Structure 1
């Protein structure tokens, strides 16, 4: 029986901040097109300049850790979609600093996993990029 979050419906609006939207699009690209997606790499290079490798590595790590730790499908929208699925909303909450309860809701896994640490590190990196680029004041 499908759960309420087993849906590709775009229930949520895109993140309001540019750096959060960047993170979401990169996650969508890497999850949908593979960890070596050239467009995700170009997004990281354009946003972070010489520090693009760190941003790309943290995003790849998060996607990999979510895939490894999840006991269910995580639904993502296409990279150009004008909204977010509920699962993407949970991922963005993790990136924003949420904890075990959000991770458990996303992955149906009660065991602590490294996806939380990866998400928090990605969130910090995105915030640093936003400050450096003047996207956030």
Structure 2
């Protein structure tokens, strides 16, 4: 019974229903665990976006680097094979989905995620990632 409570606490959210959000989550998990130059993350974005993969890939790398540089603590990321999401992953995908329609909500979530007040630079990186997915016909939705 204790294992179930721990699993539910560590991974409280189901995977997103949006296939584009799942692609973003995969790239976030791979780059978070294996570094910004992870070949599987790059290959996945290449497969999904075709010849226009560079913009989403470079912007995702920028976002991940900004998150790592500005976070006051660690950001919990689950392994790629995990069928559930951490609260931090859920917040990050919500930020990407809400950037265009609810920027203040995204700002508050980013501030909570990073544990700092000044999040403008990281928020700009998140907006660029969201726009790169949307511009290629793959908007990230919650």
Gaps of 5+ in 2: 1-7, 100-104
**Residue correspondences, number:** 127
In 2, Cα distance between equivalents of 1:8 and 1:88: 14
Q: Return closer, same or farther for 1:33/1:131 CA change in 2, 3 Å cut-off.
A: closer
TM-score normalised to structure 2 length: 0.82
In 1, Cα distance between equivalents of 2:66 and 2:39: 20
The aligned runs of 1:69-84 (5 Å cut-off) are 69-84=70-85
In 2, Cα distance between equivalents of 1:51 and 1:125: 10
In 1, Cα distance between equivalents of 2:77 and 2:137: 24
- The corresponding residue for 2:47 is 46
Deviation at 1:130, TM superposition (A): 4.0
Q: Return closer, same or farther for 1:10/1:113 CA change in 2, 3 Å cut-off.
A: same
TM-score normalised to structure 1 length: 0.85
Gaps of 5+ in 1: 1-6
In 1, Cα distance between equivalents of 2:107 and 2:31: 24
The aligned runs of 1:1-137 (5 Å cut-off) are 9-96=10-97, 97=99, 98-131=105-138
Q: Check whether the contact 1:95–1:122 (CA below 8 A) recurs between aligned residues.
A: yes
**Stretch deviating more after TM superposition (52-61 or 122-131):** 122-131
Which string of whole-angstrom CA distances, capped at 9 and with x for unpartnered residues, describes residues 103-131 of structure 1?
11101001133111111211122233345
Moved over 4 A (4+): none
RMSD over aligned CA atoms reads 2.0
In 1, Cα distance between equivalents of 2:56 and 2:132: 7
